[in-house]
Structure 1
Amino acid sequence: MEELEHTCPLPRTTLIEPAIFTPETSCECRAPHEKLTVDQASHGTPVDRPVRVYADGIFDLFHSGHARALMQAKNLFPNTYLIVGVCSDELTHKYKGFTVMTEDERYEALRHCRYVDEVLRDAPWTLTQDFLEKHKIDFVAHDDIPYSSAGSEDVYKHIKEAGMFVPTKRTEGISTSDLITRIVRDYDVYARRNLQRGYTAKELNVSYINEKKYRLQNQVDRMKEKVRTVEEKSKHFVYRVEEKSHDLIQKWEEKSREFIGNFLELFGPDGTWKQMFQERSGRMIQAFSPRGSPSSSPPRDFSPSRSPSPPSRWAMPRTSPPSSPKGASASISSMSEGDEDEK
C-alpha cells in the first residue's frame, strides 16, 4: 500500500503579507490525520506536520486582549498552525448582540494579526465533529471560563470531554464590553468631537436641541483654549522679561564693581593719579628752579643756634652802606678789581 505524505500548509514564516482566508476545505492533505494528545504535541510530534490549533470568537473592536489570547494559542506547541474562526454578523446578532464593527471589518482585522496563519469566515457558533474533521483540527484554544450560549451552559463542554481543549488566559482590564462602556460613559464628549470634525447630527443620531447645546459647548471650549493660550504666552513673556532683567542687573553690578575698582586704582591713596601728579610736580619744580639749585630749598630758619647756609656762588656779598664818598669809591674800585681778576 502506498504511503501518503503530509501536505499540510506550514505556519507563516513572513509577516509581510496578511494571513490567508480559509478555502472551502482548509487542509486537502490526503494523508491520514492521526489523533494527538496534548503531551505528544508539546514534545514536538508529529515531526512531519504542524499541530493545527483552532481559536474562534467575535473579535469586535479588536484589541490587545484578543491579540494576547491568539499569541498564547500560537505558542501552545513548538510547531503550531493557528486557524482563527470569526462568526458572522447574523450569528453574532442572534446569539450575542449588536456589534460595532461589521463582519468584513472583523475578518480583515484578524488577517493582520501576526500570530494568525489562516482566517475562517462565517465560523459556526457551536463546533461539531464534522467541522473538526473537515478542517483537520487537533485542538481548540479558548479561555477556560464556561461560555454559556445558545441554550448550553458551556458550548465547549463536548470539546473538553474529547480531550481537544487547550485553555488560554484572559487579559484583565481590557475587553470589548469595557471599550463600549467607555464610549457610552463619555458619549457627550465623543458626540461634540465628531460634530466639530464635520459629522452631521443625523449621522450621530443627535437631536436638534442637543446639537445646538454641543456646538455652544464647543465654542465655549474654544474660547477657554484661547484664554489659556494667551495666559501661557503672557507667563512666558513675563518669565523672559524677568530673566533678561536679572541678566541686566547682574551685568550692571559687574560693570559698577569694575568701574569702582578702576576709580580706586586711579584716584585712591596710592593710586596711579597720585604718582603721576607727584612726577609732574617734580618735573615742574625742576624746570622753574635755577640750574645747580637743589630741587627743594630748606625752609628758612632764623634760629640763632643754626649757622647760616653758605653763600651761593651767585649770591651777592652783603656790604654795609658806605659812610662817606671816599669809602664808596674804594668799594667800587675793589669790585672792579675783582671783576678784572675773574676775567
Structure 2
Amino acid sequence: MSRKREAEGSSEQRLCTHLGPAPFDSDKAAAIERESQDYSIKITLDMARSGLSPRKVRVYADGIYDLFHQGHARQLMQAKNVFGPRTEVYLLVGCTSDELTNKRKGKTVMSEEERYEAIRHCRYVDEVVRDAPWECDDDFLSFHKIDFVAHDEAPYVTESGSDVYAALKEKGMFVATQRT
C-alpha cells in the first residue's frame, strides 16, 4: 500500500474474483460458504457501516428481474456496496418463480430459468436464490444466514395491506437502496 493511502487510512480496493457465474443457493459452493459463517455473531448496522464486522456481511436483495437491465445491475451494485469499501459484503440475490410472479404481478417476458441465469452473470452477485419467497420470514433469513435485506424504501404492500419489509425495518435488518 502506498504511503499516501496509509496516511489517508483507505483500504486496498477489493478485486472481483468471480471466474464464472455465481452459484445457486443449492450448489455445494454456496452451502460451504453459508456454513463457514458464524451466524451467532449478530452484525449490527453500526458494525457493518464502520467496517468492524468480524465476518462477511450477508446482504440479500430480491426481485423479479424480468428483462435484466442496467437499472437492475445498479440496484445490485448498490446492495453490494451499501456499507462502503471497508466491509466485505456477500450478496445473495433472490428471484421469484414464474408461478409466484404470475400470481402477484402478472406474466414475465423471460422464463424463471432465463432470469436466474441473467442474475448469475452479474458481477456483483455472489449467490442466487431460486424460487425466492415474496416475503422473508425468520426461517428463510436464518437458513441463508442473512444479516440485512436491501431494497428501495417504497412500501411493497401485501394482500393484507402491510409493507413486505416492515418487520425487517423494525428489526434493523433493512438497508435502503435508491430506485434505479
TM over 0.5: yes
Matched with 1:158 is: 167
Residues 168/32 of structure 1: CA separation in 2 closer, same or farther (3 Å cut): closer
Q: Does 1:105 align with 2:111?
A: no
Measure how far apart 1:37 and its partner are. 1.3
Q: What is the alpha-carbon distance in structure 2 between the residues aligned to residue 44 and residue 154 of structure 1?
A: 30
Amino acid at match of 1:75: N
Indicate if the aligned counterparts of 1:95 and 1:149 stay in contact, CA closer than 8 A.
Answer: no
Equivalent runs, 1:1-343 vs 2, <5 Å? 13-23=16-26, 26=31, 27-29=34-36, 31-47=38-54, 49-77=55-83, 78-171=87-180
- Over the aligned positions, Cα root-mean-square deviation in angstroms equals 1.8
Letter in 2 for 1:35: K
Larger Rg: 1
CA displacement 1:304-326 (0-9 Å, x = unmatched): xxxxxxxxxxxxxxxxxxxxxxx
Displacement of 1:76 after TM fit? 1.2
The 3-state SS of whatever aligns with 1:130 is helix
**Hey, what's the Cα distance between the residues in 2 that align with 1:19 and 1:36?**
24
- Decide whether aligned partners of structure 1 residues 32 and 93 sit closer, same or farther in structure 2, where only a CA change above 3 A counts: closer
Residue 32 of structure 1: how far off its partner (Å): 4.6
Contact kept, 8 Å, 2:149 with 2:174, in 1: the verdict is yes
Q: How far is 1:29 from its partner? A: 3.1
Matched residues in 2 for 1:128 and 1:12: separation? 33
Letter in 1 for 2:59: V
Confirm or deny: 8 A CA contact 1:95 1:150 kept in the other structure: no
Alignment gaps of 5+ in structure 2: 1-13
Q: Is the 8 A contact 2:96 2:133 kept in 1?
A: yes
Q: CA deviation at 1:16?
A: 3.0
Q: Percent identity?
A: 59
* 8 A contact 1:33–1:136 mirrored in 2: no
Give the structure with the higher percent strand.
2
The structure with higher relative contact order (CA 8 Å, sep 6+) is: 2
Give secondary structure in 2 for the equivalent of 1:21.
coil
Question: Against the structure 1 CA distance between its residues 46 and 128, is the aligned structure 2 distance closer, same or farther, given a 3 Å change threshold?
Answer: same
TM-score by length of 1: 0.44
Gaps of 5+ in 1: 1-10, 172-343
Q: CA deviation at 1:85?
A: 0.4
CA distance in 1, matches of 2:126, 2:15: 6
Post-superposition shift, 1:30? 7.0
CA offsets 1:38-90 (integer angstroms, 9 cap, x no match): 1111112223x210000000000111111111000000122100000000001
Higher helix share: 1
Q: 1:96 to 1:162 in 2, by over 3 A?
A: same
Where 2:53 maps in the other structure, the secondary structure is coil
